[in-house]
Every structure is written in C-alpha cells, then in structure tokens.
Structure 1
Amino acid sequence: MKGMKLYLIGTGILLILYLAAEYYKPKPTDWRPSYLKEDKIPFGLYVLNKEYQSLFPETRIETSRLPAYNTLKDKKRKTSNYLMVAGAVNIDELDYQELVKFMKDGNHVFIAAFDIGDYLKDTLSLDVSSALSYRKKKDIPINFVNPALKAKHAYVFDKGLGDLYFSKLDTSRAIVLGRNEKGEVNFVRYNFGKGALYLLPNPQLFSNYALLSPKGAEYAAKALSYLPQAATTIWDEKNTKGNQGDESLLRVLFKHGQLRWAYYLSIIGLLVFVIFERKRRQRIIPIIPQLANSSVDFVRVVGKVYYQQRDNRDIALKKISYLLEFIRASYRLKTSEIGEELVNGVLLKSNGNEQDIRHLFATIEEMNKPGRVTDHQLITLNKLIEKFYKQAQ
C-alpha cells in the first residue's frame, strides 16, 4: 500500500511539472487552416470578420452552423449574401436547390474553398488544379479581368495562397472574373435569375496571413466588392465548425495541444498502473465444477472425440454395423453378405421406399471400399439411415 501511494504521488508530480512546462513554453505558430472568424492564427478569419463590417457597413452578419437547406428552407430572403470560406464545402442536391432558389430571389452566394464537393463540380462542370511548379517553386501572379479592378502589377502571394485554378470550366455558363499569369481561370461567376454564385478556389486569400499585407487586403476587398450591399450576410460555419450541437469534451481536449497531451499522459499513467497491479496480485482461481456423470454428457464427450479425430470411416462403419444389427433383429435376415438377396429381403419385410433402400445399400457398398470417407459421404449415409429407421417404424 505504501508503494502504491509513492507511485501515485510521483505520477502526480511528474504530470504537474509537465503541464507547467507546457504552459510556460513559447507557443509555436499554429499554421492550421481553421477558417474560423474568431481565430487569430495565420489561417483564421479574424481580420476578415473585423473588416467585413467596413466593406459592408449596413450589413448584419448572421452565423449558421446548419446545412444550406436548413438555413434557407421556407425563409423568404431579399438582398442577402451567403458567405462560405472553408477548406472544403459539402453541398448536396437539396442544399444546391435551396441556394438556387435563394439566388433567383435576388440574393448572392460567395464560396471560397479548395474543395467545392463532387455534386457542385458535376453540376457546374468544374474541376480544380494547382498552378504551383514543384521544379521552380515559383508563386504564380493573379489578377482580375475587369479593367476597373485589374491592378497595374499583378498580385503575388507566397506560400501558394493563390495557386489553385479551375482546370475544367464550362465557359458557356461561367463568367470569368479572374485569371493567373498563365491565363488559367481562378475566379468565376454564375448568374441565377436576379442573383449570382461566385466561386474562388483559394480560401487562404481571405485569411489573416493574406489580409495583413496591403496587397492581400486589396485583393480580398476587390473580390468581395462583387457582392452587393445587403441587409444580411449569412456567414456559414457548418463547413468549419461542423453541425450545430456537434460539441463534446473530447473535441475541446483534442483542439488544444496541451490538453491533448495531458489527456494522453493520463491514459498512459492509468495503463501503467493497471499493468503493475496485475503483476503484483494473484489472479482469482476459478472454481471448476465437477463433471456430471450423465448419459447426455457422455454422448457429447464421445461425439467431440470423434469430431476432433475426424475419422469418418470409423463412424460410417459403426453406423452400418448398428443398421445391420437392426435388420437382423427386426427382420430375421442374414447380413453377413450385402447383396441383392439382402436388399430384396429388406424390401419385402419393411415399408421402405425401394429407391431409397437401394440407394442406402449402394452407399453402404461404397463405404466398404478402401479409401477416405468425405464429410459429404458421411452426411449422405446418415440421412439415408435415419430415413430408413423412420420408414421401418
């Protein structure tokens, strides 16, 4: 017991020292692309959230953690914008149908994501590729097509922020708004009634890292200027935070590095404790009940022995021997030789079917030949014998 207390105290001290060291050590830059409007990390959207009000001063921001279908269904909206900035956007058929209704009523949808989902790609005939050259590793300049927005010097972003483009595009439906220096399209618009859908495959252009540079802030402002002044902007958080109600204690633990490692250390400590405890204490000796001396158990034991040995020939010969004994006792027939005389005698004195009886004795003759008896042959013999017993009753 004393050793156990020392072990627990030592483990607790080590855990406290580790947590203190983790808490006071310099925090490394978190480069995770979270795209959350409250995150101040490089690829969060804190700056965009703050500056959006200056771009659209009369707009009320409404956050949503529900699919577009649930957000827009049975709600008549006028002069509204729908903003999605995420690594991947999951839009199914129902979401798309509601978004189309939403846009036809005069509203606009702006999607900036690396992956816009298979359904949207198939519906709009789109595909996304990267313009980054791994040999030269040179950042590709990008710019707008509209002369009023086109910069004199193209926008160049490091870390590949603007390298993605639409490698497949239906130009009969899409209106090109931006290209890179190779002429590849990286910003498009689709008109739906009075509204429009804007697609941009580089969401990191709206991150804190991009907006803290003058060129990045200018590009984001021009891209968002295509959206009209609206009474409401629906800021989608379903594709970054998950569905509403998707919160759990473990989700918070795994989000923060210190809490995650504290959780791991606690689990490891418990496992070590359990392992050492198992070695120090004797296992409980189970009580083995005495075997019951009954005929049913005896038959089961014998059956298991035969099954384990897999001697099908021995089993078949014993069943044939019991059958012949039954014929001698019931019909007073000689069974020393199995032939046509014995078969005719059994047919005459039993009520069995002639075809089944002849099949039975043919099988018996086959079993008496040297060679291996398969499971299928043994099962067939057993079925024929049992059928004969039923007919002989």
Structure 2
Amino acid sequence: MKGLRLYLIGTALVTLVYLTAQYYKPKPTDWTPTYLKEDKVPFGLFILYQELTAIFPEATVKTTRLPVYNTLKDKNFENTNYLLINGDVKIDEYDFKELAKYMNKGNHVLIAAFQLSDFLQDTLNIQLNSVLNPPNKKGTPINFVNPAAKTARDYVFERGLSDQYFSKLDTGRALALGRNNKGDVTFVKYPFGKGALYILPNPQLLCNYSLLHKDGLDYASKLLSHLPAAKTIIFDENNAKGNAEEASVLRVFLKHTPLSWAYYLALAGLLVFVLFEMKRRQRIIPVVEPLKNTSVDFVKVVGKVYYQQRDNGDIARKKISYFLEHLRSAYHLKTTQLDDELLAAVVLRSGVEQELVQQLFKLMNQLDKAAFISDEQLIALNKTIEKFYKQAQ
C-alpha cells in the first residue's frame, strides 16, 4: 500500500513538472504570413499600421473589410491614398473600374502583393516572377530609381523578401521606380488621370520582420514617400480578413491550426459513425407497388362499348339527364319543363349568356324528341354543354 502511494505521488510530481515546463517554454516563432494590422508576428502589419500616422501626419487612417467596389462605389473621395497589402490581391473588372474612377479624380493606390488577379495582370499587361535563391543566401539587392531616394548601397534582405520582380511590363504606360541589381523592375507606377497606381511585388518588405531592421524601415519609408500627402488613408483588410459581411464562427476555427485539426477530426469521426450505423441498422426496404387507377380503364371500356353500339340517342339522353341533374343540384331549379321561365332562372343564377342557354335548350328539346341522332348533333350537344360549364359561376 505504501509503495502504491509513493508511485502515485511520484507520477503526480512528474506530470506537474512536465506541465509547468510546457506552459513556460518559449513559444516558437509563427512565420505564417497574415498581413493583419493587429498581428505582431513577423509577417503581420502591426508596425506599419502604427507608423502610418507618422509617415502621413495629417491623414486619418480608415480601415475597410468590404471589396474595392463596395468601398468606392458612389463615394466622392478626394486627396486619399488606398493601401492593399496581402500575399494575393484579387481585383476583378468591377473593382478596377471603381479604382480607375477613384484615381482619375486625383487619388492614389498602392498594391503590394506576390500574386495579382489574372484580370489585373491582363489589363496592365504585366507578369510577375521570382529569383530562385538558396534558402541560406541573402535576397536579391534592390534600390530605388529616383536619385533622391536611391542609396549608395543597395538594400539586401534575408528570407527572400525582395526576390519578386516584374518579368513583363508595359513600358509605354508604366514608370519604373525601383529595380534589383540585375535591372529587373521591382516597383512601378501607372499614372491614371490626376492620380496613380503603385505596385510592389514584395509585400513582406512592409511587414514587421522587415521594419524591425534599419534598412527595412528606411526602404518602407522611402517607398511610401512616393505617395503624396493625403487627408485620408484607406487601409484595405478585405483580402486578408475577407468580407465583413461574410464573417462566421468557422473563420475562427480555420484561422488557428489546432482548431482546424479538431474541426476536421470531428467531421471525420461523425462521418465514420454515420457509416457504421447505416451498415448495422439499415434494413432492406420492400418495394410497395402503388395501387393502380382502374377508373381510366373503366372509362375506356365503357367508351368502346358505346362506340361499337353507335347508340347516339341513348348517349344524348344520358347527357341531357346529367345536365338537368346539375341544374337541380347546383341551382335548385325544377326541370320538369324546359320553358322560358326555366331558361330565365338558369341565366340569372348561373351567369351564362342568354344566347348560349337558349341554344342549349333548343338542342335538348330537338334531340329529346328525335328518333335518330347523328354524330354531328351529338357533338354539337356536347360542345354546347361544355361551354355552359365553363361560363357558369
């Protein structure tokens, strides 16, 4: 008993020490690119967002999680700068039309992204590529073209932050503002009316990891200095966070890797449970033949009998008898005599035209006394009765 007690105490102490060590051990650096203004991870935009007011001291910073079209549509922005920073910036035809109107009025747009939408690349006639450097080698040296911003020593960054460049560019429309040591363009400007569009193919140069270094901070400051002073800075979060109208609980689960794994494992376990339960409990469902509708067959048989006998008189009398029964039951009329008094009552209560009722009464009187009824007379009687039913209220 004493040995078991010591064993339990020892196990509890070891478990406590392990849990304490796990709790206080330094967390590994998260290198996931988030491009979020509140993230302090290496590839977040916390420092840039905090320093925007220092770079543009007279500007007010506003964030938007709506698409470009919704942000700019029917808005009269003046003297503003629009920043879109993310790994992948999606601009479609409608977004670009609003951006063009926005820039033609004198506003400026900065897009920093590794990947641009196909529509934007086709419209601007550009293509992006990357220098393949070994992981342990420093990135491609870059610099500005403007002598006022160009430094004597090129900017060199680790982790390939500056390896992206424009492999295709419309030199007739675009103005190169930055190049790497191989002459490839790394920063470009597209004039639009009174404004301009600036594109940087290396968005991580504006992230926390780069801005914590002196060269990175200097490069970002000079890059943003190409934008004019503005009253308002629009900071786009739609590409990083998604549409504000589409926020859901699942976004929280999918954002964090442990929660994502837990969510997918739960779905997989539920699927396995359902499959096993179906296999164990499901029984063969017997096929029940629906009851056949014999009314149609009966009508066909009766119709064939009458057609073979060709007794039009009997058919006409039955149709007249059924019609008179309808008048008695529906309108509570006495039908012993087909006279003018009954005709007027039928017109009044049924709402059918008087001419049609007169024609019908005339046919019934003729056929009731006829010794022989032709097919044409029988068809005329049937059509007249059908018209009566359609007009009757």
Instruction: Specify the TM-score bucket, using the shorter chain as the normaliser.
Output: 0.5 to 0.7
Q: Distance in 2 between matches of 1:93 and 1:287?
A: 56
Q: Provide the C-alpha distance between the structure 1 equivalents of 2:95 and 2:231, rounded to a whole number of angstroms.
A: 22
| 1:213 alignment partner AA | H
In the aligned structure 1, how far is the partner of 2:98 from the partner of 2:239?
17
CA contact (8 A) 2:42 2:209 kept: yes
- Give secondary structure in 2 for the equivalent of 1:245: helix
Distance 2:135 2:271 in 1: 48
Q: What's the offset of the Cα at 1:262?
A: 3.5
State which structure, 1 or 2, has the greater radius of gyration over its C-alpha atoms. 2
| Residue in 2 that maps onto 1:249 | 249
- CA deviation after TM superposition for structure 1 residue 185, in Å: 0.5
Question: Cα distance 1:27–1:274, how it changes in 2: closer, same or farther (>3 A)?
Answer: farther
CA distance in 1, matches of 2:168, 2:78: 32
Does 1:74 pair with 2:100? no
Residues 132 and 138, structure 1, Cα contact 8 Å, conserved in 2:
no
User: Could you say which residue in structure 1 is the equivalent of 2:168?
Assistant: 168
User: Counterpart in 2 of 1:258?
Assistant: 258
Residue type at the aligned position of 1:32: T
Distance 1:282 1:136 in 2: 59
CA distance in 1, matches of 2:131, 2:123: 24
How far, CA to CA, are the matches of 2:193 and 2:21 in structure 1?
55
CA 1:86–1:21: 2 relative to 1, 3 Å: farther
Q: How far apart are 1:151 and its partner, in Å? A: 1.3
Structure-2 change in CA distance of 1:166 and 1:30 (3 Å): same
Give the drift of 1:76: 1.1
Distance 1:69 1:291, change over 3 A: closer
Structure 1 residues 192-341: aligned runs within 5 Å: 192-267=192-267
Distance change in 2, residues 1:284/1:44 (3 Å): same
Is the partner of 1:197 in helix, strand or coil? Answer: strand
Cα distance, 1:107–1:254 mapped onto 2, change above 3 Å? same
The amino acid that maps onto 1:59 is A
Distance 2:104 2:68 in 1: 15
Deviations 1:288-347 (A, max 9, x none): 88999xxxxxxxxxxxxxxxxxxxxxxxxxxxxxxxxxxxxxxxxxxxxxxxxxxxxxxx
Q: Does 1:110 align with 2:110?
A: yes
Identify the range of structure 1 (92-101 vs 154-163) with the bigger mean alpha-carbon deviation: 92-101
Q: Quick one: structure 1 residues 291 and 261, their matched pair in 2 at CA, closer, same or farther if it must change by over 3 Å?
A: closer
Number of aligned residues: 276
Kindly provide the amino acid, as one letter, of the partner of residue 162 in structure 1. Answer: S
Partner of 1:153: 153
Q: Distance in 1 between matches of 2:43 and 2:52?
A: 16
- State the TM-score, normalized to the length of structure 2: 0.63
Instruction: Determine helix, strand or coil for the equivalent of 1:109.
Output: strand
**2:88 matched to which residue of 1?**
88
Query: Hey, what does 1:38 align to over in structure 2?
Result: 38
Whole-angstrom distance in 2 between the partners of 1:171 and 1:285? 72
Aligned residues of 1:37 and 1:49 also touching (Cα < 8 A): yes
Instruction: Give the residue type in structure 2 aligned to 1:39.
Output: D
**1:21 offset after TM fit, Å?**
10
Match of 1:253, SS?
A: helix
> How far 1:276 sits from its partner (Å)?
8.0
- Residue 183 of structure 1: aligned partner: 183
Do the aligned residues in 1 keep the contact of 2:161 with 2:202 (CA within 8 Å)?
A: yes
| Cα distance, 1:131 vs structure 2 | 2.0
Matched AA of 1:204: Q
**Aligned equivalents of 1:202, 1:104: Cα separation in 2:** 26
Shift of 1:274: 6.4
CA contact (8 A) 2:138 2:157 kept: no
Q: Name the structure 1 match of 2:125.
A: 125
SS in 2 for 1:155: coil
CA distance in 2, matches of 1:120, 1:277: 51
The AA in structure 1 aligned to 2:175 is I
After TM superposition, give the deviation of residue 133 of structure 1 in Å.
Answer: 3.5
Asked if 2 retains the 8 angstrom alpha-carbon contact of 1:23 and 1:258, the reply is no
Letter in 1 for 2:179: R
Q: Structure 1 pair 22/266, CA: closer, same or farther in 2 (3 Å)? A: farther
Q: State the Cα RMSD in Å.
A: 3.3
Q: Which amino acid aligns with 1:114?
A: F
Identity of aligned residues (%): 58
TM-score scaled to structure 1, two decimals? 0.63
Structure 2: how far apart are the matches of 1:282 and 1:83?
58
Residues in 1 aligned to 2:271 and 2:120: alpha-carbon distance in whole angstroms: 47
Separation in 2 of the partners of 1:189 and 1:264? 44
Long gaps (5+) in structure 1 = 1-16, 293-393
- Tell me, which stretches of 5 or more residues in structure 2 are unaligned? 1-15, 292-393
* Cα shift readout 1:54-93 (whole Å, capped 9, x = no counterpart): 1112211111122222211111111001101011111122
